[in-house]
Amino acid sequence: MIDSHTHLDYLDDPASARGELGLSAMICVGASPQHARNAVALAEQFSDVYATVGLHPTDTAEDSPEARAQLEALAGHPRVVGIGESGLDDYWDPTKRAAQQQAFEWQLDLARRNGKTLVIHTRDQAGQDSAHRGVMDILNAWPDVPVILHCFSGHQGLLRFGLHRGEHTFFGFAGNTTYKTALDIQAAARDLPLSRLLLETDAPFLAPVPKRGKPNRPGYVRHTLNFIAALRDMDPADLERATDENTRRAYHLPTPQ
């Protein structure tokens, strides 16, 4: 099974975390220049790890010509399969929108120039959707860039937008899908066309039930797999095959021999 989005370098022992619960591959997301370097180093060390490189919207204070040059150089690395995570975040500080938008659009351009998929982070304060609407507004100008709507929130407008955008728009579902109050996320995970669905941990964050409250691990993606398989009335093995194939398609990963 593939974990399509993990922060492996945040874990105390990345090497031991890799082999848990039979994962075949994982995407280590580099969401700042330093974490991008860490992700690439892990991908160079372990054949089952791939990397993305980018600048998280909450880290735009690190945006600079030097940081962009570093990420530009890393984007062409053979173990780098995506750009990001980028996007918009109005949860922590909505006054940063201009800087976030500039970084987001630069990473869309970086993804387009490198022929790679952009991983998108979208987060709002409770009851608000300014970041979601902002992501849609920006993506309207970039219809040809493949994207992953990471840790999808269940937002109905973004769901419709992503479906209309075409087969190169994917939706990532993390451990919060298993939470009792996550009804909108669960509805999306149940009803979304199977070809658009990815499974992720976002480790060490958002550990699924029954591990909620503990640091998340890449192998815990299987708990989310089993939960969504039950929602969709599917055999977990069938869902695993489908979502692994979707992840390989989204990131242009090699087909296992």
- End-to-end CA gap in the chain: 14
**Distance separating alpha carbons of residues 146 and 23, to the nearest angstrom:** 25
β pairing state of 147-149 and 2-6: unpaired
Domain ranges of the chain: 2-251
Q: Is the peptide bond before 204 cis (omega within 30 degrees of 0)?
A: yes
- Type of residue found at 112: R
Where do we find the tokens 């029954």? Answer: 210
> Residue 28 forms beta bridges with which residues?
6, 51
What tens digit of pLDDT does each residue of 157-182 get? Answer: 999 999 999 999 999 999 999 999 99
What tens digit of pLDDT does each residue of 8-56 get? Answer: 999 988 988 887 778 999 999 999 999 999 999 999 999 999 999 999 9
Whether 1 contacts 240, CB under 8 Å: yes
CA 185 to chain centre: 15
Q: Which helix (H) or strand (E) holds 227?
A: helix 221-231
What tens digit of pLDDT does each residue of 75-107 get? Answer: 999 999 999 999 999 999 888 999 999 999 999
Instruction: Name the CATH superfamily, with its identifier, for domain 2-251.
Output: Metal-dependent hydrolases (3.20.20.140)
What tens digit of pLDDT does each residue of 192-250 get? Answer: 999 999 999 999 999 999 999 999 999 999 999 999 999 999 999 999 999 999 999 99
